[in-house]
Structure 1
Amino acid sequence: MNITYPHVIENCIGEKIIFHRVQPEPDGDRVLVQNFVQPGIGPVMHTHWLQDECLTVLEGRIGYQVLGQPKQYAGPGDTVLFERGTPHRFWNAGDDVLHCEGWIKPANTIVFFLSAIYAAQNKSGTAEPERFDGAYLMQRYASEYDLPEIPGFVKKAIIPATYQLGKLLGKYEHMQDAPDPIRA
């Protein structure tokens, strides 16, 4: 997938990300981002197995949580770091748009993955991605990303079956330029 920067994505539930550029570094490229999140909105609990994510609040109030820990909050000037392998979520905990800047390192497939997730949400018109696209992304990129609150049976049986059905039905032609997943 050929991406030009800045690369802007928006979903139908009120999240916007601007990927400004990929900054080469000796220990892995860093993608520089800005996000804008509507009140009460934010990604579900998720894990990046291979990447660190850092957000600094510019405007608004961020709520965030690491799986199994209490909710926390931060405001303008505060920085939140989610280390690789840590299940986490964040949301706009204020009444105005949350605006953050930050980075994800190493960049790996994150720009494609989030772009595809947002497109699948826009296709379904809800926070839940369109089922076939969601199954494709969860299967193909399982070595990089996880949604820990999805029940094990769904991950081990329903998602793979949906993925296979999607292959049989030719649902993934629009994903033909998807980058190869990174293996740890």
Structure 2
Amino acid sequence: MKTNLPVPAALPHTITNGLGETLTFLRLQPEPDGDRLIVENAVAPGHGPVMHTHWLQDESLTVVRGRLAYQILGQPPRYAGVGESVVFRRGVPHRFWNAGDEILNCTGWIKPANTIVFFLSAIYDAQVKSGSAQPDRFDAAYLMMRYAREYDMPTIPGFVKRVIIPATYRIGRLLGKYHKFAGAPEPVLA
């Protein structure tokens, strides 16, 4: 299975969103049914990604230091401590955050890797650009449109997904906002 990495494609590759989350893509572990991307993170207290879905990938986190809170959409939060692991299956909306008072460190993997390095790198860059948890609107529209079959944000209202995001994407194209994405990997068709 082809793996799409950002340019440069060297691993390890570390990204930060400027809001308390740092993620390092350590290495690819080739496997017959798709490369496993080995990762580690550092998350500040109270921070973590919003509710999201990976349509084509499984994800696992093992707590190395701190206290991990996690939630499956529609379920109450659960917690994991040092040495405990959590697996998020593809297609299951989930989120996690640091529920402790110190930096949360986890090791983990995402499988298959597909476009995740590019996608998360671009999302983190868009958050740095906006200076908030909400990514730059044009960058977010591009990523949500291009990779809609791979990733989703289930808490975004349907009207916004069907009307606002596509309109923002078209305006962004007219304004020439997407030249920086010229080398973006092709979406994985499921």
TM-score interval for Structure 1 and Structure 2 normalised by the shorter chain: over 0.9
Unmatched 5+ residue regions in structure 1?
none
Is the contact between residue 23 and residue 32 of structure 1 (CA under 8 Å) also seen in structure 2? yes
* CA shift for structure 1 position 23: 1.2
Structure 1 moving runs of 4+ over 2 Å: none
2:98 equivalent to 1:97: no
2:26 equivalent to 1:20: yes
Unmatched 5+ residue regions in structure 2?
1-5
- Alignment-derived partner of residue 13 in structure 2: 7
Looking at structure 2, the residues matched to 50 and 94 of structure 1 have their Cα atoms a distance apart, in angstroms, of 30
2:92 equivalent to 1:86: yes
2:32 equivalent to 1:32: no
2:134 equivalent to 1:117: no
Amino acid at match of 1:129: P
Looking at structure 2, the residues matched to 168 and 113 of structure 1 have their Cα atoms a distance apart, in angstroms, of 22
- Alignment-derived partner of residue 166 in structure 1: 172
- Alignment-derived partner of residue 153 in structure 1: 159
Looking at structure 2, the residues matched to 167 and 21 of structure 1 have their Cα atoms a distance apart, in angstroms, of 34
- Alignment-derived partner of residue 144 in structure 1: 150
* CA shift for structure 1 position 168: 0.5
Looking at structure 2, the residues matched to 112 and 54 of structure 1 have their Cα atoms a distance apart, in angstroms, of 19
Measured against aligned partners, the alpha-carbon deviations of 1:62-105 in whole angstroms (never above 9, x if no partner) come to 00000011100010000000000000000000000000000000
- Alignment-derived partner of residue 183 in structure 1: 189
Looking at structure 2, the residues matched to 167 and 181 of structure 1 have their Cα atoms a distance apart, in angstroms, of 18
**Length-normalised TM-score, structure 2:** 0.96
Amino acid at match of 2:34: G
Measured against aligned partners, the alpha-carbon deviations of 1:86-134 in whole angstroms (never above 9, x if no partner) come to 0000000000000000000000000000000000000000000000000
Name the SS of the counterpart of 1:138 in structure 2. helix
Identity of aligned residues (%): 67
- RMSD (CA atoms): 0.5
